[in-house]
Amino acid sequence: MDLNNNIKLFITYLHDEKRYPDTTINSYERDLKNFSEYIKDHHLNYKDLNKDQIRSYLKYLDDLKYSKSSISRELSALRHFYTYLEVRGVISKNMFSLIRNPKKDKKLPNFLQNNELDKIFETIDLTTPLGIRNRLIVELLYATGIRVSELTSLKLKDIDINNHEIRVLGKGNKERIVFFGDYALKYLNMYEENARHILLKEKQSEYLLINNQGGKLTSRGVEDIINKVVNEAAIHHHISPHSLRHTFATDMLNNGADLKSVQELLGHESLSTTQIYTHITSDRLREAYLKSFPRK
> From start to end of the chain, where are the E strands?
159-160, 165-169, 175-179
What radius of gyration do the chain's Cα atoms show? 22
Q: Tell me if residue 228 is catalytic.
A: no
CA-wise closest residue to 239 among 97, 143, 103, 142: 142
Catalytic residue among 147, 191, 196, 246: 147
Q: How far apart are CA 73 and CA 56, in angstroms?
A: 17
Q: What SS3 class is residue 158?
A: helix
Q: Tell me if residue 242 is catalytic.
A: yes
Q: How far apart are CA 114 and CA 281, in angstroms?
A: 14
Q: Tell me if residue 80 is catalytic.
A: no
Q: Tell me if residue 100 is catalytic.
A: no
Catalytic residue among 107, 245, 286, 289: 245
214 class by beta-carbon count within 10 Å (0-12 exposed, 13-18 middle, 19+ buried): middle
Catalytic residue among 79, 119, 167, 242: 242
Interstrand relation of 175-179 and 165-169 (parallel, antiparallel or unpaired): antiparallel
Q: Tell me if residue 15 is catalytic.
A: no
Catalytic residue among 133, 135, 196, 268: 268
Q: How far apart are CA 195 and CA 206, in angstroms?
A: 15
Q: How far apart are CA 152 and CA 247, in angstroms?
A: 19
Catalytic residue among 18, 68, 171, 197: 171
Residues in Cβ contact with 147 at an 8 Å cutoff, skipping those fewer than 6 apart: 170, 242, 245, 267
Q: What SS3 class is residue 152?
A: helix
Q: Tell me if residue 268 is catalytic.
A: yes
- The catalytic residues are 147, 171, 242, 245, 268, 277
